[in-house]
A and B are shown apart, each in its own frame.
Chain A
Amino acid sequence: MRFYQALLYLYPASFRAEYGQEMATIFAQRRRDTNPLLLWIDVFFEVLWNALRVHADILAHDLRYAGRTLGRAKGFALTAIVVSALGIGATTAAFTMVDHVLIRPLPFPEQDRLVKLYEDHSLTCCKDYDVAPANFRDWKRMSTSFESMSAYRGSMVDLVGQGEPRQLVASVVTGDLFSTLGVKPILGRYFTVEDDQPDSAATVVLSESLWRGTFGGDAAVLGRKIVLDGNPYAVIGVMPDNFKFPTRDVLLWTAARWRPQDVSDRTDTWFYGVGRLKRGVSFEQASAEMHSIGRQLEQEYPKQLAHIGVTVEKLRDDNIPDRAKTMLYALLGAAFCVLLVACTNLANLLLARALSRRKELAVRAAMGAGRERLVRQMLTESLLLSIVGGALGVMLAYAALPMLAKLVPVYLPVAEVPQIDLRVLLFSAVVTCGTGVLFGVVPALRVCRGNDSNGLREGSRSGVGGRKERLRSMLVVAEVTLSVVLLVSCGLLIRALWRVQAVDPGFRAENVLTLRTSLPMPRYALTVARQPFYTRVLIEARQLPGVTGAAYVTYLPMVVGGGLWPVEVEGHPTPVSERKSASSRFVTPGYFSVMGIPLLAGRDVAESDRADGLLVAVASQSFAKFYFPNENPIGRHIQFGGAGNRVIVGIVGNIRVRGLERVAEPQVYMPYQQLPDGGPTQYAPKDLAIRSTVDPATLAPALRRIIREADPEQPVSDVRTLSNIVEQQTGPRRVQVTVLGSFALIAFLLAAVGIHGLLSFAVSNRTQEIGVRMALGARSGDILRMIVWDGVALAGIGIAFGAVLAYGAGNQLQALLAGVKPNDAATFASAIALCLVMTVAGSFAPALHAIRVDPTTAMRGE
């Protein structure tokens, strides 16, 4: 019997109260004349089924009722839906981003067993240095922790013969890379070890997007030869679209086919390693093994590998800069702030509505609706609102994602724009229902608590207990607090953006057009082959109207940050630990004037600096200061990487090679004719820069024509202005500011609405009191001050709390602040001032309403 009583709890309380006893009686009667086992089975499913039906009946009834009442209060419904859409939309978007970048497993099977391997050059540079194939082979041979270990590097290749010549992002990989990552091709096959021998035929694997876009998705592409960098490659397979390794922009893969000379030099670092751990081997074990292998190799090759170790990184953690992490967590935090503000606003709205509906509720209670039914009815209403708001919010988030995608780090092997999938929808559903329940149930319980007859007795006056107004005041304080936090955080990021934008890059970016001609190898491998091309293009470019200068350079600043060569100064033997690498570039004469880099001493490189003449170099001021403090650097000799012994002939200003926010290594420039033949061809100058007195973008067609005439098979890419390149530096920051700024704006407006709503409500409830005051001689000014002061007092408390929290938030954001202090006084002052203005503005309308109160009418109501 007790079990049956317990089963009855599946029914809604109102139903149970109404019929429970009778049902129990019937059950008792049935028990007398039925087989107990059958009875129990029957009863169990019967109760389950009917309870569900009763709940569904009530839900349908409540939904109809909610639809009717909300239809009558359209303004309220609309506000509540928009408020919850904003909160849920912000949270959904932020969660999608965090999930995409930080939480979701990478799209490789058993991705937690994948690690990246680097040479550890902590002493001279960094922990994640490129790997020399010679060392990689030894790592692979000596280690036991790995199921497989592969190497890869990024590259650019020219595709000729498929429409316009094009330069494509590619990757050179060892034959086992795809099997290490565990991803299968959608067409054909991937590389085998046989494809990866020095004498194997050249083969290429295409990405799905290249296959569909350039080869029309034709399966007959398999076996076809395509021309990459002037050499034929046989297509053997196509990888699926979600395979984006090592970066998301890679379009094709070729096999490494290391020749003996590629694996002979232990300092020739140009690959990266990726490995799959054996089952049961932990990351720590593998890491320890690789460290000891690193030490062993260091002892074996003390000259080449001094102070060089091995770094093992989990693939999932790698490539996500700390700043990107900080930003994403800041985004999530800000989104939760918006959600909280939205929720408090919603609670406030629902509470106000519940209070104004006290009479209706009291009538319904008097007519026999139980408290449970009333609470349930109100919950249905708030859930309905938040579900509609939630659906709207998910749509908002979906629309916002392409903009947020700028916050996804480039070097992450995942798609750029995250998808809203089932997990995200589930998250939003939880947030939505949580919002609805939490902020529907509080007002519902508060209103239904105590004796419902009060509502009737007070007649038309909706009496407001002091306690309820206190709760609403607390909610408003919370809103102000959170919006201060968001305003200050956003303000700090704006200050940081300004600071970064004000950084002098060391060159003048205005009116410079840049583009890249990829110099297909091996046609352009030798200086003599390149020179006529440079000469012709530069001479013709300089003749274009408005052009004041043109020059070629190895890599444009801020586009490629690397290219570091070790420096040794003659007569200054420096220990390895104190050596500093310098960025090396080969340039044509006139490069400094085109870029607006000041020549401080000595001379520019010249056409007369030929390969067979004196080897010269122009160094940056920072180079001179580091290697020749208090000395004249002109005429001094340096040993610079593989470029030989050079004499310094000029000193130029420093530039920010690595971007606005990083101090670059010292820079060394060498004449374009002195790039040693047979050396690294990637240093052959490929980037053209043109300074003009006219809008540089208008020069592009003429330049393309000049290049096409000089060499019809020369791919032209990356046509953009130098200002554009510099602006891209602050692109992520601008996105951050926009996103956080819009969150702050939403919270700020919601808080204003909250203050306005609370004061309006208070004024309408204090009409009599105000009437009495006026009758007793209070002037309009006094009343105005009284109401505005109420608002300011609330805002003041919120601001005080908010300022403390904002300081904490600023500390967390420090990595993003580019040196702006988290307690930046100007930012705090502006945020506080904004809040006060918002408060006064929000309380003004209710205050004006209050002073228009007519004392006689107001007091007649008493």
Chain B
Amino acid sequence: MQDSDSLLPLPSATFHILMAVAEEDRHGYAIIQDVAARTRGGLKLSAGTLYRSIQRMLEQGLLIESQERPSPEEDDERRRYYRITPFGAAVARAEARRLTELVRLARASGFAPGRA
């Protein structure tokens, strides 16, 4: 198994996609919408960035294509659903740890609000 730290720091698009599929399998457009909603419209992934990231994440083993389909009335055959892998989850946790540590250091330097 690959070391989960080896991919850090994650590109921000990659991290957002991992967060978007953390709880349920999603298709591409749903990921875009989820990321936009989560960031309150701050980040709107383009289709190209999304699928380029997805392609690389598939190669890296962060995601797999989900074989389970939603109920037929919701399903669109053209759509593919993506699911986070245990490795993907581990990498996301490692990235979150890295960022937390970074924020802790920023607080100590007075760059961020809160206790040092």
Contacts and interface: CB of A to CB of B under 8 A. Distances in A.
Interface of A: 15, 18-19, 21-23, 25-27, 29, 42-43, 46-47, 49-51, 53-54, 57
Nearest to B27: A22
Given A22-B28, A25-B29, A26-B29, A15 B51 contact: yes
B55 A15 contact: yes
A19 B29 CA distance: 12
B52 interface: yes
B52 A46 contact: no
A584 to B, nearest CB: 84
Contacts of B114: none
B55 A26 contact: no
Contacts of A29: 29
A29 B80 CA distance: 16
Interface string B18-55: 00000000011100100000000000001111111011
Given A23-B47, A23-B48, 9 more contacts: A18-B55, A19-B28, A22-B29, A22-B79, A25-B29, A51-B48, A54-B52, A54-B55, A57-B55
14 contacts: A22-B47, A22-B51, A22-B78, A22-B79, A23-B28, A23-B48, A26-B29, A27-B47, A47-B48, A49-B48, A50-B52, A54-B48, A54-B55, A57-B52
A23 B54 CA distance: 12
A51 B51 CA distance: 11
Contacts of B80: 22
Given A22-B80, A26-B32, A53 B52 contact: yes
B51 A57 contact: no
B46 A50 contact: yes
Contacts of A43: 46
Nearest to A10: B48
Nearest to A48: B48
Nearest to A11: B48
B29 A50 contact: no
Nearest to A20: B51
B52 A23 contact: no
A27 B48 CA distance: 10
B28 A26 contact: yes
B10 to A, nearest CB: 16
Nearest to A58: B55
B55 A46 contact: no
A161 B27 CA distance: 91
Interface in B41-93: 46-52, 54-56, 76, 78-80
Nearest to B80: A22
Contacts of B55: 15, 18-19, 54, 57
**A-B pairs with lowest CB-CB distance, top 10:** A50-B48, A19-B51, A23-B47, A46-B46, A26-B47, A26-B29, A22-B28, A46-B48, A21-B78, A50-B52
Contacts of A54: 48, 52, 55
Nearest to B51: A19
Contacts of B29: 22, 25-26, 29
A25 B46 CA distance: 12
Nearest to B31: A26
Contacts of B76: 25
A95 to B, nearest CB: 41
A541 B49 CA distance: 90
B55 to A, nearest CB: 7
A29 to B, nearest CB: 6
B3 to A, nearest CB: 19
Contacts of A27: 47
B6 to A, nearest CB: 16
A447 to B, nearest CB: 25
A725 to B, nearest CB: 72
A109 to B, nearest CB: 50
Nearest to B33: A29
A57 B56 contact: yes
B48 A25 contact: no
A23 B51 contact: yes
Nearest to B79: A22
A15 B79 CA distance: 15
A814 to B, nearest CB: 62
Contacts of A50: 46, 48-49, 52
Nearest to A4: B47
Most buried by B among A21, A50, A53, A57: A50
A43 B48 CA distance: 9
A57 B78 CA distance: 25
Nearest to B46: A46
Contacts of B78: 21-22, 25
B60 to A, nearest CB: 12
A21 B27 CA distance: 13
A47 B51 CA distance: 11
Contacts of A51: 48
A26 B36 CA distance: 14
Nearest to A15: B55
A42 B44 CA distance: 12
A50 B50 CA distance: 10
A15 to B, nearest CB: 7
A641 B52 CA distance: 89
A51 B55 CA distance: 13
A23 B32 CA distance: 11
Contacts of B79: 22, 25
Contacts of A18: 51, 55
Nearest to B78: A21
Nearest to B76: A25
A223 B49 CA distance: 70
Nearest to A50: B48
A62 B32 CA distance: 30
A338 to B, nearest CB: 42
A785 B37 CA distance: 80
A22 B51 CA distance: 9
Nearest to B49: A50
A720 B65 CA distance: 84
Contacts of B54: 19
Contacts of A19: 28, 51, 54-55
Most buried by A among B47, B54, B76: B47
A57 B48 CA distance: 13
A42 B28 CA distance: 19
A18 B65 CA distance: 12
A42 B29 CA distance: 17
A57 B28 CA distance: 20
A15 B50 CA distance: 12
A19 B52 CA distance: 9
A51 B32 CA distance: 19
A851 to B, nearest CB: 50
Contacts of A53: 52
Contacts of A23: 28, 47-48, 51
A22 B29 CA distance: 8
A21 B76 CA distance: 12
Contacts of B52: 15, 50, 53-54, 57
